[in-house]
Amino acid sequence: MKKNQLGTSNLHVSELGFGCMSLTGNTSEDEKIIHQAIDSGINFFDTADLYQFGMNEKSVGNALKHKRRDIILASKGGNAWEDGKEGWTWKPEKNYLKSAVKHSLHRLGTDYLDLYQLHGGTIDDPHDEIIEAFEDMKNEGLIRYYGISSIRPNVIQTFAEKSNIVSVMMQYSLLDRRPEEWFPELDKKGISVIARGPVAKGLLSESYSEKINENGFLDYSQEELNDMLPQLHDLAQEKNMTLEQLALRYVMDQPQVASALAGSSRQAQVKNNIESTAKPALTTETLRGLRAMTKSNTYQNHR
């Protein structure tokens, strides 16, 4: 499988990565799914301490305990749980982050992370303190590189200008093309995009008709989705692809995207996703046509 350099780091990640949030929680089944992904060429796995209250990291760690040297492992932190309180609390503090990464390492059964990411962020956060925390983690050998997971323009700009991030994880798909407005700026600074949600919550899948509802999706109304998705499906068939594979190829074929994270809860899903990497890259003409069929979107309402 094609490998791409992650920002200015010396990490080379598979163009198709594995988003671990979708794992089943069944340790034995998760191990089969993850090993299938590795055997198929995926080397980049992303989790977070937030997923399933840390149990996702434990399951991933168990599956990777004999594969650690073969893969690039990423996690995320910055959210804390409090006893007796529903949900989580945003806690972008230096001491908390340095403690959280050690808990993640323990759950994952490893002594370092290849990539550690701030899991969120606001413009009011103590950015210098956060950056100091990440730099300390690097100096202590707990992490090799760091990045952020954010869709907020002010947050992205702040870290791009003030820190040594190598990546920004962003929701990105044919139906959510907001990250494209940031591609030129991130490219100038040598920062890669890690794309999550490339199949737009299943709307860009073979079962798209079951996913459309009255709420639409971002700027798309229900009527617009009913009109456009069958056209995208027909185009995928013309290219001898499933709709998922067309959606994944669109994201993977962007030079600024180091890896597209696709989650799987079944081995059949892994197989279908993997097959997208064997499909030829989309031509310039096809990419142009897909952009004409969809909206460019903007982050103007996500400061």
**If you average pLDDT over residues 38-52, what whole number do you get?**
90
> 210-255 pLDDT, tens per residue?
999 999 999 999 999 999 999 999 999 999 999 999 999 999 999 9
Three-class SS state of 46: strand
Give the Cβ contact number of residue 219 at 10 Å. 14
CA dist 222 to 217, 226, 227, Å?
A: 8, 6, 9
- CA 2 from chain center: how many Å? 17
Instruction: Decide if pLDDT at 90 tops 90.
Output: no
**If you average pLDDT over residues 37-66, what whole number do you get?**
88
- CA nearest to 173, candidates 254, 242, 288, 101: 254
Please state, rounded to an integer, the average pLDDT across all residues of the chain: 92
> 254-269 pLDDT, tens per residue?
999 999 999 888 888 8
pLDDT recorded at residue 107: 93
CA dist 83 to 41, 80, 89, 283, Å?
A: 41, 10, 11, 53
Burial class of residue 255, CB neighbours in 10 A (0-12, 13-18, 19+): exposed
Q: Is the pTM of this model over 0.85?
A: yes
* Band of pLDDT at residue 131, cut at 50, 70 and 90: very high
DSSP assigned state of 283: P
Burial class of residue 7, CB neighbours in 10 A (0-12, 13-18, 19+): buried
Instruction: Decide if pLDDT at 45 tops 80.
Output: yes
Residue, of 89 and 161, whose pLDDT is higher? 161
Q: Which residues are catalytically annotated?
A: 51
Place of tokens 């899991």: 119
**If you average pLDDT over residues 18-36, what whole number do you get?**
87
Burial class of residue 124, CB neighbours in 10 A (0-12, 13-18, 19+): exposed
pLDDT recorded at residue 84: 64
